[in-house]
Amino acid sequence: MLKEKVEGWSLEKKDVKNLILLASPIILSNFLQNLYNLADSYYMGKVGGVELATSSFTSPITQMIVGIGSGFAVGGGVIISQLVGKKDKKEILKTNSQLLSINILVSLFITILSFIFCEKILKFSGADGELLEKSSLYIKFIFLTIPMTFLVSTYITIKNSKGKSMSPLYLIAFSTILNIFLNSLFINKFKLGLYGIGFATLIANVILGGYCTYELYLKREISLEFLKIKKDIFYRILKLGIPSSLTTITNSLSFIIINIFVVKYGTEVLAAYGVGNRINNIIYVLINGIGTAVAILVGQNVGAKNIKKAKNVLRTGIVCGLFVGMVSMIVVFLILNPVIDIFTKDIEIKKHSINYLKIMLISVIPWAIFQPLAAVFQGTGHTKFGMYCHFGRVWIFRVPFILIFENLLVLYEFSIWYSMLFSNLFALVFSFVLYKRVDWEKKV
């Protein structure tokens, strides 16, 4: 079999090809999803500086809430990918249907709670005055989209777990184009301001959620017969999904906590933080896409009891992730000024954005290794390991380092930027420790 040597590791060309074929549509989907978010930031920037700050301020809150659904989707995805490896079609249909039912129930519950505690969440995050008023307006539109977002998450998980990653790509491409069109229509033509951005997001999500449910039913990837909650499958999805949901909640909560620190330095720094995250996420979606593909292929090979192949997938993912990460990091660094100009012409916001990105771009390298390792935790059913890594990253390193840098070294907003870098390095080190404890034959 043809092989190629890369950085001292022996990689099979077939493994590289399979990973690229699966990861490419996922990466493009992630990129388009990021473009979707960038479009909102772009139009918010056109409305005003406070509106742009609103985008970055509300983002971690909405990610935390929506992330609960993606966490359960991860749990279902672990089971589905291993069932695909076993070629058990009936169980796949059952699990697909159960995942849809669970996400619908959870989404409705979360939507109600989100509206009830909306003001308290925003105030806890540090919002007041005009920022509180506009954040409350915008985020309520996002809350209305939660059920649809959970449906889309279910659809993407089912398709990706089966290796059909082109379907989510087409879906997200359509949604991005639709969102940009609606934003442009409501902002430029009807002059609706923040209301227009909210309406655009709501309409796009309703159309998407309806389409996803219809297509899954039409192609018999869900069945009405199996929509009623089955205790055994429900428990397995919860067992795997709750740690993933807690991981997402922990990550998003960390950004909410960071917002509390950032907002002290003014709306310019907060807006710059949002701009920097949007740009940095362009690289992260590439690496995260590779991680998602690794998780799916590891799950399928573990299901087929081909452990050697699953470990080869991990090595391939690390090498590909490092290559993509390093190239992307260099390219973004070289065109940093013109990229930031897309989002803002404000000199103060640009200055803070550059300072933030010059530090955070370094974290791309450890993240490129961490993501494939975290994907193994997911693919083998060790979702708790991923939760441990992210919990430690936030609460053992990130928050304490902010306090140390801010109070002892008086680094101002740089305290936040450096703490984020060091916490990502910690996640990598801890993931290596947990990787040694992975049981590749664990039953899910």
Determine the Cα–Cα distance for residues 167 and 225; give it in Å rounded to an integer: 24
Model pTM score: 0.82
Q: What is the largest CA-CA distance in the chain?
A: 65
- Asked if 275 contacts 343 with a C-beta cutoff of 8 angstroms, the reply is yes
Query: Given this model, what pLDDT does residue 1 score?
Result: 39
Query: Given this model, what pLDDT does residue 2 score?
Result: 40
Determine the Cα–Cα distance for residues 60 and 81; give it in Å rounded to an integer: 29
User: Mean pLDDT in runs of 10 for the chain (444 residues)?
Assistant: 45 85 90 78 80 79 76 88 94 95 92 93 86 92 93 94 93 91 92 92 93 95 92 89 83 76 84 83 87 94 93 94 92 88 83 90 92 94 90 85 87 88 89 93 80
Give the helix/strand (H/E) hosting 5: strand 3-6
Please, which residues have CB within 8 angstroms of residue 189's CB and are 6 or more apart in sequence? Answer: none
The two structure tokens encoding residue 354 = 């550059």
- Asked if 108 contacts 94 with a C-beta cutoff of 8 angstroms, the reply is no
The three-class DSSP label of residue 11 is strand
The DSSP result for 198-221, as a single string, is HHHHHHHHHHHHHHHHHHHHHTTS
Query: Given this model, what pLDDT does residue 10 score?
Result: 58
Query: Given this model, what pLDDT does residue 257 score?
Result: 79
Please, which residues have CB within 8 angstroms of residue 260's CB and are 6 or more apart in sequence? Answer: 125, 126
- Asked if 269 contacts 417 with a C-beta cutoff of 8 angstroms, the reply is no
Q: Return the half-sphere exposure (C-beta side, CA atoms, 13 A cut-off) of residue 98.
A: 23
Q: Return the half-sphere exposure (C-beta side, CA atoms, 13 A cut-off) of residue 31.
A: 13
* Domain spans in the chain, listed from the N-terminal domain onward: 3-435
Nearest to 28 by CA among 299, 282, 294: 282
Compute the residue count for the chain: 444
Q: Where are the beta strands (DSSP E) in 210-356?
A: none
- The per-residue b/e assignment along 409-435, b for 16 or more CB within 10 angstroms, e otherwise, is eebebebbbbbbbebbbbbbebbeebb
The three-class DSSP label of residue 346 is coil
Query: Given this model, what pLDDT does residue 6 score?
Result: 44
Q: Strand 3-6 vs strand 9-12: parallel, antiparallel, or unpaired?
A: antiparallel
- Asked if 79 contacts 95 with a C-beta cutoff of 8 angstroms, the reply is yes
3: DSSP letter: E
Determine the Cα–Cα distance for residues 228 and 363; give it in Å rounded to an integer: 44
The two structure tokens encoding residue 185 = 């229509």
Query: Given this model, what pLDDT does residue 7 score?
Result: 43
Query: Given this model, what pLDDT does residue 316 score?
Result: 94
Residue entry with tokens 């205790």: 231
Please, which residues have CB within 8 angstroms of residue 432's CB and are 6 or more apart in sequence? Answer: 373
The two structure tokens encoding residue 421 = 């870098």
- Torsions phi, psi for 266 (to 5 deg): 105, 165
